[in-house]
Amino acid sequence: MTGIGKSTIFKLLRERNFSTAGQVEPPKKIPGRPAKVLDEETKCVIRRKVHSFYFRKEIPTLDKILMDLGKDDSIPLITRKLLWTTLKSMDFVWEKHNRKALLLESEEIVCWRRKYLRSIKQYRREQKNIFYLDETWINEGYTVQKMWQDKNITSARQAFIEGLSTGIKVPSGKGKRLIITHIGSEEGFLKQGLLTFQSCRTGDYHEDMNSDVFEDYFGEMIKFLPADSVVVMDNASYHSRRIEKTPTSSWRKQEIIDWLTTKDIEFEPNLIKKELLAIANVHKKRFMKYAVEDIAEKYNVTVLRLPPYHCELNPIELMWAQVKGFVARRNTTFKMKYVKLLFDQAIKEVTPENWRKAVQHVMKQEEKMWNLDNLLDQTVDPLIILSRGDDSSSDDEEYNLL
């Protein structure tokens, strides 16, 4: 009717803060430079947003998710394209079922989650001591995002004449960074489980941790855990250094042959590299041992890995929120010396009761996830994945459809 393409119409509607259904969209965030890379905490929030649609029995589309994220002040500015690529990197897939598109998690993530939920329930039934471990950070400039400000004060001179102040001057940069590792249970933080060190980097805090630092910390901390305990942790790279490398496609053919030979794995002569690698892949799981698990075995401790992007299943995340909120509300000097003092005070403010409530909250989340998986298994029809040769869309077309 207008003689204008559909994509142009959608663009015009978005620019005028109207959705295609005629509803006013939520207020947009303060304009700024969109994030280029999202950290793990933000990815966890995005994943929870997607699952919130499942719980409401709504189909999550890219626009709906983006609108929900726009209401959350804790989320940085995200473009539509970045959200799309992030969802793909988190193993979400836009699949077809019963002629309708649905955003689903990959089978690997679902199976990992189900295995984790079964294991944690079993350990609780056995009344084992379960400890939760994680890392976080606090910058020198860490403070609350919003505060009451007097907009009537327009200059330092006016403030001086009227005997007032210009308010708290928040630093423009993040400043130095305090890296933190800790572990706790329903009894509270483990007294001997705290590791802190300072870094001058301002990027992702994972840059400052490596397997050597973490394994040294883990080897000392684990001595204070009761025997037959369970330690829950994520799959960060520094948690996952393998003791022995196993064959990959980057290995040379002779290296794969030597590995199979040393492991006493039989194979026929004159096989090509791909055939040798296929044989290695069948057996290599038996030899994929991590350094952290090796340390834990010496002390009769079990390491239980969280599924990827499931930080909400770790109650220590709620403790981090409490601690960092305490620091943010009191940080007015923006100097590392005082930030450390505030952090030490904040840790002391966390009580065993706080931990017990956090664990109870996580147990409710576990039950919701378990029931949701069962619900999707019963209601979602078998997936139909079209090959490139069929009438399927390209990646760009898939993005536009989302």
Average pLDDT, the chain: 82
List residues bridging with 151 in a β-sheet.
none
Report the pLDDT value the prediction gives residue 24, as an integer from 0 to 100: 43
- Return the higher-pLDDT residue of 339 and 96: 339
> N- to C-terminal Cα distance for the chain?
24
- Return the higher-pLDDT residue of 391 and 328: 328
Helical (H) or strand (E) element with 195: strand 195-199
Report the pLDDT value the prediction gives residue 398, as an integer from 0 to 100: 43
Whose tokens are 């330092």? That residue is 156
Q: Is the pLDDT of residue 374 over 50?
A: yes
Report the pLDDT value the prediction gives residue 126, as an integer from 0 to 100: 96
Q: Is the pLDDT of residue 384 over 50?
A: no
The pLDDT tens digits for 130-171 are 999 999 999 998 887 776 666 777 888 887 787 877 767 777
Determine the average pLDDT of the residues in 104-112.
Answer: 82
Query: What letters, b where the CB count within 10 A reaches 16 and e where it falls short, cover 319-328?
Result: bbeebbebbe
* Spatial separation of the C-alpha atoms in residues 372 and 364, rounded to whole Å: 12
Instruction: Quickly state the pLDDT bin for 221 (edges 50, 70, 90).
Output: very high
The pLDDT tens digits for 166-217 are 767 777 667 889 999 999 999 999 999 999 999 866 555 556 788 999 999 9
Instruction: Quickly state the pLDDT bin for 298 (edges 50, 70, 90).
Output: very high
Closest CA to 133 of 179, 185, 186: 185
- Return the higher-pLDDT residue of 60 and 253: 253
**Main-chain dihedrals φ then ψ at residue 375, nearest 5 degrees:** -65, -45
Report the pLDDT value the prediction gives residue 20, as an integer from 0 to 100: 43
Lowest mean pLDDT among 51-55, 253-257, 308-312: 51-55
Q: Is the pLDDT of residue 26 over 50?
A: no
Report the pLDDT value the prediction gives residue 95, as an integer from 0 to 100: 65
* Spatial separation of the C-alpha atoms in residues 173 and 82, rounded to whole Å: 24
Instruction: Quickly state the pLDDT bin for 227 (edges 50, 70, 90).
Output: very high
- Of 50-59, 98-107, 138-147, 231-240, highest mean pLDDT: 231-240
Q: Is the pLDDT of residue 348 over 80?
A: yes
Q: Is the pLDDT of residue 100 over 60?
A: no
- Judge contact between 287 and 281, C-beta under 8 A: no
Report the pLDDT value the prediction gives residue 91, as an integer from 0 to 100: 79
Q: Is the pLDDT of residue 261 over 50?
A: yes
- Return the higher-pLDDT residue of 244 and 320: 320
Helical (H) or strand (E) element with 97: strand 92-97
